[in-house]
Amino acid sequence: MLQATEKIWHNGKLIKWDDAKLHVLAHVVSYGSSVFEGVRCYDTMRGPAIFRGPEHIRRLVDSAKIYRMDVPFTVEQITQGMVELVRANNLQSCYIRPIVLRGYGDMGVLPKHNPIETYLACWAWGKYLGDEAITQGVDVCVSSWTRIAPNTLPALAKAGANYMNSQLIRMEANSNGYAEGIALDASGYISEGSGENIFVVRDGKILTPPLGASVLPGITRDAIVKIAARLNIPVVETIIPRELLYIADEVFFSGTAAEVTPIRSVDRITVGKGSRGPITEKIQSRFFDIVTGKAEDEFGWLLPIAGVREKQPVGV
Ligand SMILES: Cc1ncc(COP(=O)(O)O)c(C=O)c1O
């Protein structure tokens, strides 16, 4: 269950958690007109820090632009709003959910008099696919549902409506006993998980589907590409046939929620040795070292929340 915090940021002001309410006839409820983000704030050695905050908010504003929603705040203002919010709720680590939506006004598909509302909320959150998933890996399936096709719902926008497709994928996987489902794109090539990008490793090379395969341009996906480059592991963006999942040496998911999660089987076919592979482990450990502040923040990905208590050194 969601753990309530004290404050939510609404159109530039901090309001009480319980006051962040919508009318049932708000445009978003009938027509799915929201764009949103999922961001993590990590408990680092130097206090809490938001991972790639400006990049997430840039994607939020991009998503809004695709849907002709005018957000009356800049990327900097919303990013600063996230910092204020985490500080006000006094959290060491949390998940942050920015949402831009069409609110209450007219009723009808054309949003003529529906205000744009911007919200930021945050709460404490653990591992998305379970604590063990990070080390042991997860069992997944290829979904019978196809990912949203080009020129239907735009995949580059992180819109609430896209997650009706994600729900179908995730619920089907769940009811068949899998941790997650992998969707194919409209051409039958690998797209992504219901809430994660995917990477396939074979012969020391990492492959990941291109943006044209109906994938969300993941912020973690981009982080993996940059980390792999530093580790001299080649990454190729290319269309990937489904069957490569079965003969891959390693497969893993990336995402804000899933972080870097190994996949140990697909459709009950064991991937590689059936446990976290060496390339996944290398990337994963570099990723966690950066986000927890153990390694130097060489890419400038951490935005510190000044004002929340820094960790005290452990006395000896
Ligand atoms: C459909 C989908 N793909 C990929 C991702 C991963 O993106 P990110 O790394 O920016 O969280 C997410 C999560 O936001 C998602 O919902």
pLDDT along the chain (316 residues), means of 10: 95 98 98 98 95 98 98 98 97 97 97 97 82 92 98 98 98 98 98 98 98 98 98 98 98 97 98 97 97 96 81 51
Do 181 and 242 contact (CB within 8 A), yes or no?
no
Report the alpha-carbon distance of residue 86 to residue 93 in Å, rounded. Answer: 9
Q: Can you give the pLDDT at residue 306?
A: 82
Q: Is 201 helix (H, G, I), strand (E, B) or coil?
A: strand
pLDDT for the residue numbered 316 = 47
* Placement of tokens 């708000």 in the chain: 26
Q: Does ligand 1 come within 6 angstroms of the Cβ of 180?
A: no
Catalytically annotated residues: 158
52 CA to centre of ligand 1 in angstroms: 13
Degrees, nearest 5: CA angle 156-114-102:
30
| Residue 148 Rama label (left phi>0; alpha psi -120 to 50; beta) | beta
pLDDT for 86: 98
From the CB of residue 81, how many other CB atoms can be counted at a distance below 10 Å? 24
Does the C-beta of 255 come closer than 6 Å to ligand 1?
A: yes
CB 137 within 8 A of CB 277: no
Mutate to test the pocket of ligand 1, among 96, 158, 196 (most ligand atoms within 8 A of CB): 196
The reply to whether ligand 1 has any atom less than 6 angstroms from the CB of 214 is no
Residues 6+ away with beta carbon under 8 Å from 157: 35, 62, 63, 66, 67
Angle at 275 between CA 273 and CA 278, to 5 degrees: 85
pLDDT of residue 314: 54
Cα(301)–Cα(219) distance, integer angstroms: 11
- What integer pLDDT is reported at residue 33 of this predicted model? 98
Question: What was the pLDDT predicted at 307?
Answer: 67
Cα–Cα distance between 158 and 279 in angstroms, integer?
A: 29
Nearest CA to ligand 1 atom 5: 196
Tokens of 192: 């992504």
> For residue 129, what are the CA distances in angstroms to 20, 125, 195, 211, 304?
28, 12, 11, 24, 26
pLDDT of residue 166: 98
